[in-house]
Amino acid sequence: MAEIPASPQVELQDVYPWTGELDAVTGIPPRKALDLVLPVLLRRMGTDGLPMAALMIDIDHFKKINDKWGHGTGDAILAHVAGIIRETAYFRGEAFRYGGEEITVFLPNCTVDEAEVVAERIRRSIFVNPLEMEVGNSSEGGSEIPLAVTVSIGVSGFPDVEGSELLVAADQALYRAKNEGRNRVCSYSPDISDDGGNVVIEVTFPAQSLISEGSYVILTKWFRHRQEMTEIEAREISDPSRGVREIAEGRTPDEGFVTAEITGRVVSVERRKDKTFFSFEVKPETLELMFDHLRDKSR
């Protein structure tokens, strides 16, 4: 395996040639390449007493994009974002598809302060370069419209955190960025877990709703999307402060269905013709109860 040059001005693939296939959607190395590179990088940076940073990047509201525009557009956005990330980080490190809509970037010989600058460049480059999406039949005068995309980014650095915790710390910083409103960069700090620790759930209500930001509501019937506890569909919403109960009609799902009370605060709302999307902040122990509830039902 090739030696790492003293200067970080080189792509990691030149240092650790990846002979396997690249990710088919994004065109960047896959998760198994990341798992191969990380321990080698940490060992070398630690031996030489050099810093190293990691970025965890998540495309904001990706599920809503898939729901509205289709998975083909979702894949196009993934490729678009991955290309911008790789181009922006070209001289400092390499990007890997971590999974789903998350992309990880390793920045060897890079401090957290330097990594924050790279992360902000990535965030801004994606923000100001929307994906040009074709609408209609091009042979019949179809047109292109810009589809705006934003990302949230978490930053962590070695040796500020233990090497084995590099990605965990970046992921915690990413969740802070998402909880604080998305389209921003946040760096890991030990007090992240002391900021209230609330979990934000993305909720789809398959009907129009009158809920508003800042209100405390109760979901009494809901189920999971793709087994993700932080992305759910609600069928009943109650707002005790207004004495309102809203019910969405539709076929009851076969699995994952929960009839229980889960209370939290609405932190953002997006209304469409036949659906309402909102972010719902709950205490972590409440979410844990839901995990236990589902586990007990499956036994």
- Which residues carry out catalysis? 101
Q: Report which residue type is found at 156.
A: S
- 46-64: b (≥16 Cβ within 10 Å) or e: eeeebbbbbbbbbbbbbbb
Cα–Cα distance for residue pair 221/258, rounded to 1 Å = 6
Cα–Cα distance for residue pair 162/87, rounded to 1 Å = 28
Rg of the chain (C-alpha set): 21
Cα–Cα distance for residue pair 186/204, rounded to 1 Å = 26
Q: Kindly give the pairing relationship between strand 143-147 and strand 185-187.
A: unpaired
Contact 103, 95 (CB under 8 A): yes
Cα 249 from chain centroid (whole Å):
30
DSSP symbols for 87-114: HHTTTT-EEEEEETTEEEEEEET--HHH
Contact 176, 261 (CB under 8 A): no
Where on the phi/psi map is residue 196: left (φ > 0), alpha (ψ -120 to 50), or beta?
left
